[in-house]
Protein backbone atom coordinates (compact mmCIF):
# COMPACT_ATOMS: atom_id res chain seq x y z
CA UNK A 1 0.00 0.00 0.00
CA UNK A 2 1.50 3.34 -0.99
CA UNK A 3 1.68 6.34 1.31
CA UNK A 4 -1.16 8.13 -0.46
CA UNK A 5 -3.49 5.14 -0.31
CA UNK A 6 -2.83 4.54 3.41
CA UNK A 7 -3.20 8.20 4.31
CA UNK A 8 -6.36 8.61 2.27
CA UNK A 9 -7.85 5.47 3.86
CA UNK A 10 -7.38 6.89 7.36
CA UNK A 11 -8.54 10.32 6.21
CA UNK A 12 -11.76 8.86 4.76
CA UNK A 13 -12.27 6.83 7.94
CA UNK A 14 -11.75 10.02 9.96
CA UNK A 15 -14.38 11.94 8.04
CA UNK A 16 -16.76 8.99 8.23
CA UNK A 17 -16.27 8.73 12.00
CA UNK A 18 -16.69 12.51 12.30
CA UNK A 19 -20.00 12.23 10.45
CA UNK A 20 -21.10 9.39 12.73
CA UNK A 21 -20.08 11.20 15.89
CA UNK A 22 -21.93 14.36 14.83
CA UNK A 23 -24.99 12.33 13.84
CA UNK A 24 -25.05 10.40 17.11
CA UNK A 25 -24.29 13.52 19.16
CA UNK A 26 -27.10 15.51 17.56
CA UNK A 27 -29.53 12.61 17.87
CA UNK A 28 -28.84 12.19 21.58
CA UNK A 29 -29.17 15.96 22.12
CA UNK A 30 -32.43 15.96 20.15
CA UNK A 31 -33.89 13.10 22.20
CA UNK A 32 -32.81 14.75 25.46
CA UNK A 33 -30.46 11.95 26.49
CA UNK A 34 -27.20 13.76 25.82
CA UNK A 35 -24.06 12.20 27.07
CA UNK A 36 -25.03 8.60 27.00
CA UNK A 37 -21.33 7.77 26.66
CA UNK A 38 -20.74 6.39 23.22
CA UNK A 39 -20.71 9.85 21.60
CA UNK A 40 -17.28 10.55 23.05
CA UNK A 41 -15.95 7.17 21.97
CA UNK A 42 -16.88 8.02 18.38
CA UNK A 43 -15.20 11.40 18.79
CA UNK A 44 -12.08 9.69 20.13
CA UNK A 45 -12.13 7.33 17.14
CA UNK A 46 -12.34 10.36 14.86
CA UNK A 47 -9.25 11.92 16.43
CA UNK A 48 -7.48 8.56 16.23
CA UNK A 49 -8.21 8.19 12.52
CA UNK A 50 -7.02 11.71 11.70
CA UNK A 51 -3.85 11.22 13.75
CA UNK A 52 -3.16 7.89 12.03
CA UNK A 53 -3.65 9.61 8.69
CA UNK A 54 -0.93 12.06 9.63
CA UNK A 55 1.35 9.40 11.14
CA UNK A 56 0.94 6.69 8.50
CA UNK A 57 4.10 7.42 6.47
CA UNK A 58 6.24 7.47 9.62
CA UNK A 59 4.72 4.40 11.27
CA UNK A 60 4.67 2.39 8.04
CA UNK A 61 8.44 2.11 7.99
CA UNK A 62 8.70 0.75 11.53
CA UNK A 63 12.17 2.23 12.02
CA UNK A 64 13.91 3.42 15.16
CA UNK A 65 12.21 6.82 15.00
CA UNK A 66 8.68 5.41 14.92
CA UNK A 67 9.46 3.07 17.82
CA UNK A 68 10.80 6.00 19.84
CA UNK A 69 7.66 8.04 19.08
CA UNK A 70 5.45 5.17 20.25
CA UNK A 71 7.46 4.54 23.40
CA UNK A 72 7.63 8.19 24.43
CA UNK A 73 3.98 8.76 23.49
CA UNK A 74 2.80 5.90 25.68
CA UNK A 75 5.08 7.07 28.50
CA UNK A 76 3.71 10.63 28.49
CA UNK A 77 0.14 9.44 27.96
CA UNK A 78 0.36 7.27 31.05
CA UNK A 79 0.83 10.32 33.25
CA UNK A 80 -1.94 12.28 31.57
CA UNK A 81 -4.35 9.34 31.96
CA UNK A 82 -3.35 9.03 35.60
CA UNK A 83 -4.08 12.76 35.97
CA UNK A 84 -7.51 12.32 34.39
CA UNK A 85 -8.32 9.63 36.93
CA UNK A 86 -7.03 11.70 39.85
CA UNK A 87 -9.21 14.62 38.72
CA UNK A 88 -12.28 12.45 38.10
CA UNK A 89 -12.16 10.68 41.47
CA UNK A 90 -12.98 13.70 43.68
CA UNK A 91 -15.44 15.05 41.11
CA UNK A 92 -17.36 11.78 41.28
CA UNK A 93 -16.87 11.30 45.04
CA UNK A 94 -18.25 14.72 45.98
CA UNK A 95 -20.98 14.45 43.33
CA UNK A 96 -19.84 17.55 41.47
CA UNK A 97 -20.53 15.55 38.33
CA UNK A 98 -22.93 12.63 38.18
CA UNK A 99 -21.90 9.89 35.79
CA UNK A 100 -22.89 6.26 35.75
CA UNK A 101 -20.35 3.50 35.14
CA UNK A 102 -20.81 3.36 31.36
CA UNK A 103 -20.42 7.12 31.00
CA UNK A 104 -17.29 7.13 33.16
CA UNK A 105 -15.66 4.30 31.22
CA UNK A 106 -16.62 5.94 27.91
CA UNK A 107 -15.16 9.26 29.04
CA UNK A 108 -11.90 7.61 30.11
CA UNK A 109 -11.76 5.62 26.86
CA UNK A 110 -12.21 8.72 24.74
CA UNK A 111 -9.67 10.70 26.76
CA UNK A 112 -7.18 7.83 26.48
CA UNK A 113 -7.57 7.55 22.70
CA UNK A 114 -7.27 11.30 22.21
CA UNK A 115 -4.28 11.61 24.54
CA UNK A 116 -2.29 8.69 23.13
CA UNK A 117 -2.66 9.59 19.47
CA UNK A 118 -2.27 13.33 20.03
CA UNK A 119 0.95 12.67 21.90
CA UNK A 120 2.16 10.58 18.93
CA UNK A 121 1.52 13.53 16.61
CA UNK A 122 3.23 16.02 18.93
CA UNK A 123 6.24 13.76 19.41
CA UNK A 124 6.50 13.03 15.68
CA UNK A 125 7.13 16.73 15.14
CA UNK A 126 9.80 16.67 17.83
CA UNK A 127 11.70 13.50 16.84
Q: What is the pLDDT of residues 78-103, one digit of tens each?
A: 999 999 999 999 999 999 999 999 99
Contacts of 107 (CB under 8 A, 6+ apart): 37, 40, 88, 99
DSSP assignment of the chain equals: --HHHHHHHHHHHHHHHHHHHHHHHHHHHHHT----SHHHHHHHHHHHHHHHHHHHHHHHH--HHHHHHHHHHHHHHHHHHHHHHHHHHHHHHTTSS---HHHHHHHHHHHHHHHHHHHHHHHHHH-
- pLDDT at site 2: 65
Residues of the chain scoring pLDDT < 70? 1-2
Q: What is the domain count for the chain?
A: 1
Specify whether the backbone of 35 is left (phi greater than 0), alpha (psi in -120 to 50) or beta: left
- pLDDT at site 4: 80
Q: Which domain holds residue 58?
A: 3-126
- pTM, 2 dp: 0.90
- pLDDT at site 51: 97
Amino acid sequence: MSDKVGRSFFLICGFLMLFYSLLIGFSTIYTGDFFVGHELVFLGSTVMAFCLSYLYPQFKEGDERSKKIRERGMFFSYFFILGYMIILMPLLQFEIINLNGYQTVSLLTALTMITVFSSFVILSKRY
